[in-house]
Amino acid sequence: MLDLHGRLAFVDCLDCGLRLARERMQERLAEANSGHPRIPTDAEPRSPAPDGDARVDESALDEYRVPGCPRCNGVLKPAVVFFGENVPRPRVERAYARLRASDSLLVCGSSLSVFSGFRFCREAKAIGLPILILNQGRTRADDLASLRIDAECGEVLTRTVSLLGLE
């Protein structure tokens, strides 16, 4: 498995490249904003969106402090590829190498709307690998798939792991 577009579990410094656990960054944010009246405390329920976003009153941002990198004080960013950014070339090359060494390709929870993921389906088809797509709704590679399952990924994968006795 390769996190092609990164993971929200980490933040990266744009200046020196230091990678921090997102949990540590959350602690640093809480410390820097401990007296902020509009920032939820640990006792308050939170419901962030799947992409990590949360609704915050814009006026709350005026006094909000975002700490810099602990090494160089540079700007920190979630370790994900945002729309408009490119997947880093070394990661793409690793993905192609892993694909060529595989017996099949499994796509979970992606519409493959952007080329960064779709290109691996095209490559898998070109080299004769079977492609299994597990996603709710249509994908850009439906016509390339050997098997297509229209279902919720977490539910299907959890059940599969259980049926295989891999829990």
pLDDT in tens, the chain (167 residues): 788 889 999 999 999 999 999 999 989 988 898 877 655 555 455 555 666 666 666 777 777 888 999 999 999 999 999 888 999 999 999 999 999 999 999 999 999 998 999 999 999 999 999 999 999 999 999 999 999 999 999 999 999 999 999 97
Q: What is the pTM of this model?
A: 0.71
Burial class (CB in 10 A: 0-12, 13-18, 19+), 132: middle
Q: Please choose, from the candidates 147, 80, 105, the residue with its C-alpha nearest in 3D space to the C-alpha of residue 1.
A: 105
pLDDT of residue 127: 98
Q: What positions carry a catalytic annotation? A: 5
Give yes or no for a contact between 131 and 145, defined as CB atoms under 8 angstroms apart. yes
88 DSSP 8-state letter: P
pLDDT of residue 153: 93
pLDDT of residue 54: 65
pLDDT of residue 121: 97
pLDDT of residue 157: 94
Concatenating the DSSP letter of every residue in 39-52 gives: SPPTTS-----TTS
Three-state secondary structure call for residue 2: coil
What residues contact 22, with CB distance under 8 A and at least 6 apart?
8, 9, 10, 11, 78
